[in-house]
Structure 1
């Protein structure tokens, strides 16, 4: 058996035929989302047969491969961009950014250095500069785009470790609340910290870190010879959207000699809001910030971002020398020439900045602000529907904050915990299987509750009302 296309190429006509079919698929997806199911349950047997397929030895018609993708993979997924997807923290993308991603991939751009792809680096410099301006960081600050919040947190904590500990991590301790994202624990393990070096501080009734408990823990640790070096604060917890008291934490960390990292992977989008940006007051005093544009800045996966108040700390932490990289080594002091491979973990980097830059250029910040403000409105509307239920069926557990609220059915409060949770899980799975909506539970004070995250700007009021009524009907049918 011989190779039939060893150059891995297509004719212009083949590229046009295949490319147009792929683009039509994308357009059909975006144009028909609101009427399409949120997702569908998978057929385990069909997936098993598909997974067992041996690798193809010869070429196939690209349109046949596209149809296989549509029928066996794309049709068997949850549409996170769907207006009735309220689980977790959705990533409601936009078409302009999707085209940006397509272009970045088609041009196969290396975004690690200034030399060569200087126009590419300039776009990331511009986009990072916009974010620095929005978050109140000065010209001496820096940042870069990464895969997501997990990598952004890892990058920031690595910088904090380098600046504060200079390699001696034996007795170091890091502090965060019991509402902090699970990625922080994973990042600490990767960076060489042991579980006993992480201090999980209680949160108050609003989901914010307890400052008195934090201070008590710091004093206790120092008395035992430990070396506190970093506090991870939350600007939008996943569970409830809570924001730690940033205006108090910034001076507190300065007094205590702690690096203040703010995980704003979710809540960072609020900086775009005209009405609610004050909720992030104090974030401009952080030493570093995590932002996830693929959450509340409406970008396709993957794009996270880390900002650091002193850009030199990034290069000091991550820059390495190699003979084959000498040609890249010059970076200007004025941010006009940046080698982003020196600012983070990756040497080879995809061109993540393009989709963010392109969508901001096409839609403008005012429309992004309107999209963020709409999310706040939708969460408040959901809370109103819950509280105005004529049967007093619902109990709001945590009110709308950062487009997130949690709630529970009063009827389930009267049942044993195991029975109530079984009904709740069956309800959520039933709705997910129907394709009508996507809602996921979480826990509040140890009890399982329902949760809505309403950041999708294309969600309509009727989508909220429909989903809440659907939940009520499904729960009542199981009582």
Structure 2
């Protein structure tokens, strides 16, 4: 054996400076003592019990992942049924862990949407992946907290590396920074908090933030949480392509400035939840620079388009933003909760969230302050105790490679193109929005269907309900230009064109078999 690596059980772990001090060895157990802390009865199980339950849990996970296409994509139970199933008194004494795992895996967790089912087209379905499952297991066992460097230097470095990889995937410059958060809602809140502080300081008088009516509701919620009134959020009607129109925005900015108001930020959406529309980010960035406004891009779903060959042009557009929301638990196929916020100038996050800014009298957290080139991620966002969400991204990218994720994004785009072509060719179906980032919308108009708009809306809802009732597919409705439409999101890598065709056949059959909806004038 060559090299100067320390022998097993001696020296420091790889990458740990000797200056950090020796790693303490475990105290040897006496012959009549079970090694601590695994003593049954003290919030712990024996090694044998842990291995048995752990092996069983892995079997349950593998079974779940290998049978994603089995059964219906959606299952639901009523409140009374679930109250009977789970509404029990506080258990004073413990039970068998293996049996409890079976109970949860078989009777409880399946009651919901099976987002990784190949015929689940609702919302933005995620698939997760097995390395990410193991990442959660390991990081939880290690109580990993990438908050302060002192508390979790290794976990923090994992997160910084994963952030670097995401920036590379999205084509963002290296000086950008940020952190992982629970999802798009907290990412939007985090970025807009920095925008508020940077542009408004502590005076919110007359402040205005702009978006389109197609923006995610979390934007309005962020406005509320940041101390702004709903009248300070200006939601503009979109153009014909469901995008925020720079001309309409420019006119509104001029009017508001003329009225003495204080515009400070614009939210552009890359991949609206309804139709997958992409706001013209470059044009909006130019307008924001002219007026000195912060441009936040909500790319929770659609920023992943930049991974694909046809989305390469988006990379330059994203670089014009001041901040970006990206959800790896959407089109990067990670389990929930794996969101991310990235900003052009990370110091603006630190100005808003750094712990030193918010210290009270206690010196409890002073020992954890960053020194020299250390990074405390809890200085960049609202959360101090943070799980190691980044390890899911790190481990799945290391396992599969970036190319696999690029192919998966391309696959979702091809599926939406295929669905659009089938809908366009079908005599009973009308495409209501062009495919946008793996999302498309359409309506059913079979022969003899009503012409009253409200009755046509009800037909779409009844078709969605009927398809869901078959247990063979799941697609829900949304509203486009004030009318109810059916919506498909086709990003699941396991979905095939045959799944698309079968689902559209179910839709067409349900529409023809639907009881003719009554016109409003026929109601009694």
Higher mean Cα deviation, 148-157 or 399-408?
A: 399-408
Worse overlay, 69-78 or 223-232: 69-78
Q: Which residue of 2 aligns with 1:111?
A: 146
Pairing partner for 1:150 from 173, 180, 185 = 185
1:421 corresponds to 2:457: yes
Contact 1:291/1:305 (<8 A) preserved: yes
Change (3 A) 1:331 1:204: farther
Deviation per residue, 1:101-140 (Å, 9 max, x gap): 1222222211211124211111101011122233343343
1:43-58 aligned within 5 A? 43-58=78-93
| Structure 2 residue aligned with 1:324 | 364
Q: Does 1:376 align with 2:413?
A: yes
- Specify the alignment match of 2:201 in structure 1: 166
**Contact 1:40–1:432 (CA under 8 A) maintained in structure 2:** no
Deviation at 1:66, TM superposition (A): 1.4
CA shift, 1:5, in A, is 5.8
2:484 equivalent to 1:440: no
Q: Does the CA-based 8 Å contact 1:405-1:452 persist in structure 2? A: yes
Aligned to 1:355: 392
TM-score when scaled to structure 2?
A: 0.87
**Partners of 1:25 and 1:430 in 2: CA distance:** 31
The number of residues matched between the two structures is 471
| Structure 1 match to 2:169 | 134
1:197 & 1:272 partners in 2: Cα distance? 35
Looking at structure 2, the residues matched to 373 and 414 of structure 1 have their Cα atoms a distance apart, in angstroms, of 38
Per the TM alignment, residue 346 of structure 1 is displaced from its structure 2 partner at its CA by 0.3
1:184 pairs with 2:219 = yes
Larger Rg: 2
Greater shift, 292-301 or 109-118, is seen at 109-118
Match of 2:326 among 278, 282, 291: 291
Q: Deviations over 1:35-76 (max 9, x none)?
A: 332122325442121243111111111122112212321232
CA distance in 2, matches of 1:279, 1:135: 8
| Structure 1 residue aligned with 2:343 | 308
CA distance in structure 1 between the partners assigned to 2:347 and 2:316 by the alignment? 25
Q: Distance in 1 between matches of 2:227 and 2:60?
A: 45
1:105–1:413 Cα change, 3 Å: farther
Cα displacement string for residues 307-361 of structure 1 (whole angstroms, at most 9, x for unaligned residues): 010111111110122412222222555xxx3101000000100000000000001
1:402 to 418, 437, 449: 437
Aligned partner of residue 69 in structure 2, secondary structure: helix
Q: Equivalents in 2 of 1:377, 1:371: separation in Å?
A: 10
- Greater shift in the superposed pair: 170-179 or 30-39: 30-39
Matched, 1:205 2:240: yes
2:126–2:329 CA contact under 8 A, matched in 1:
yes
Aligned twin of 2:425: 388
The aligned residue for residue 379 of structure 2 is: 342
CA displacement at 1:430 relative to structure 2: 2.9
CA distance in 1, matches of 2:371, 2:65: 41
Report 1 or 2 for greater relative contact order, CA contacts < 8 Å, sequence distance ≥ 6.
1
Distance (Å, rounded) in 1 between the aligned partners of 2:508 and 2:100: 42
Structure-2 residue corresponding to 1:239: 274
Q: How much does 1:6 deviate?
A: 4.5
Once the two structures are overlaid, the 10-residue window that deviates more, 63-72 or 149-158, is 63-72
Aligned counterparts of 2:223 and 2:467: Cα–Cα separation in 1: 37
Q: Which residue of 2 aligns with 1:472?
A: 508
Q: Runs of 5+ in structure 2 lacking a partner?
A: 1-38, 517-524
1:364 to 385, 393, 401: 401
Question: For residues 225-245 of structure 1, what are the alpha-carbon distances to aligned partners after superposition, in whole Å with 9 as ceiling and x for unaligned?
Answer: 100000000111001111111
Larger mean CA deviation between 75-84 and 421-430 belongs to 421-430
Question: How far does residue 280 in structure 1 lie from its aligned partner after superposition?
Answer: 4.9
Give the distance between the partners of 1:67 and 1:134, measured in 2 at CA.
Answer: 39
Q: How does 1:45-84 map to 2 (within 5 A)?
A: 45-84=80-119
Contact (CA 8 Å) 1:399, 1:406: kept in 2 or not? yes
Change (3 A) 1:68 1:308: same
Q: Distance in 2 between matches of 1:265 and 1:54?
A: 40
SS in 2 for 1:426: helix
Measure the CA separation in 1 of the matches of 2:472 and 2:513.
17
Matched position secondary structure for 2:365: helix
Larger CA deviation: 33-42 vs 287-296: 33-42
Scaled by the length of structure 1, the TM-score of the pair is: 0.95
